[in-house]
Amino acid sequence: MLLGFELYAWNARLAAAFHEVLGHTEVAVRNAIDIQLRQWNKQQSDNPRNPENFFTEEWLFQTAIPIRGLISDSVKKVRSSADRAMGYRPVTHTRKHAEITHDDVAAQLSFGTWNRLIPLPNSAPSTQHLLWNEAIQFAFPNIKNGHEGSRQVKSPLNVLHRLRNRVAHHEPLLHVEANCRVLDIARLTGYVDQDIADWIMAQQRVREIVRERPKPKTML
């Protein structure tokens, strides 16, 4: 029974370490994609597939086709979340009465939303492929070009999204290949920026905690 308690406590420490490093990873990926979609959305003002003729960089407020169909439901939810977050600001908050901005809404989007924007390898041509080719691939300058590039990103992103959900729901991590997931984080963030990846790897505590996993006591 004692080992069970020790493993439970160890699992909590591992989850906390993953929560920290996955948070850094999500922010790195989010910011990189957001920068590219800002530029892309503004350029859609001259694209005949959009009935409107004016778009800004605020792609979460003025969303051009085809991204509109991918994120419209998510944006409605996160706009409500951003509104609630604004209401929770204390009176001493420097932005207590400030309007909701594009950055406020982007910060509310889930890891899964960013994952959905990346096309699945070998899938039929889709909206995700169009966005990848026109914008999102440039968020990952250290990958190969074309479909192989999307495969490089999608593989670790899918795995880390599932891991993030396990961590968020306090599920057991006893059979997670933790060191492999650290390598996935290094790969994915390295596609964005190697300096960012190096910084994240210097912050991570997962490998240390893996070495501390409790083991059954040997009977003499």
Residue-level pLDDT at 46: 79
Q: Is residue 14 part of a domain?
A: no
Tally of domains within the chain: 1
Q: Is residue 163 part of a domain?
A: yes
Per the structure, the complete domain to which residue 117 belongs is given by: 24-211
Q: Is residue 206 part of a domain?
A: yes
Residue 45 has what DSSP assignment? G
Taking 60 as the threshold, does the pLDDT of residue 220 lie above it?
Answer: no
Taking 60 as the threshold, does the pLDDT of residue 215 lie above it?
Answer: yes
Q: Is residue 16 part of a domain?
A: no
What whole-number distance in Å separates Cα of residue 102 and Cα of residue 57? Answer: 9
Q: Is residue 6 part of a domain?
A: no
Q: Is residue 13 part of a domain?
A: no
- Residues with Cβ < 8 Å from 77, sequence gap 6 or more? none
Q: Is the peptide bond before 66 cis (omega within 30 degrees of 0)?
A: yes
What average pLDDT does this structure show over 117-141? 90
The reported pTM is: 0.90
What average pLDDT does this structure show over 164-193? 97
Q: Is residue 167 part of a domain?
A: yes
Q: Is residue 7 part of a domain?
A: no
